[in-house]
């Protein structure tokens, strides 16, 4: 799945328009890239990203 397909799928599942989904996707890519470069390795970066995604999911579920 490429970036455009991912944005379309997120929009379909969330009901958020494509422009807003693209902004979120772009922001996530920047955050992920920064975490990878500052975390001292991929495992630490993935751990941080997992925590962020878990937090977002918990807010969505409430």
pLDDT digits (tens, 9 = 90+) for 27-61: 988 887 887 777 776 777 778 778 888 888 887 77
Q: Which domain holds residue 21?
A: 3-61
Rounded Cα–Cα distance for residues 49 and 43 (Å): 10
pTM: 0.61
CA angle in degrees (0–180, nearest 5) for 43-37-44:
20
Domain count across the chain = 1
Q: Return the pLDDT at 62.
A: 63
The candidate with the shortest Cα–Cα distance to 27, out of 52, 1, 57, is 52
Q: What share of the chain is helix, strand, coil (3-state, %, to 5)?
A: 85, 0, 15
């Amino acid at each position: 799945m490429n970036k455009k397909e991912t944005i379309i799928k997120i929009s379909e599942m969330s009901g958020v328009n494509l422009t807003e989904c693209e902004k979120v996707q772009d922001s996530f890519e920047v955050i992920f890239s920064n975490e990878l470069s500052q975390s001292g390795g991929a495992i630490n970066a993935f751990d941080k990203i997992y925590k962020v995604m878990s937090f977002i999911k918990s807010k969505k579920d409430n």
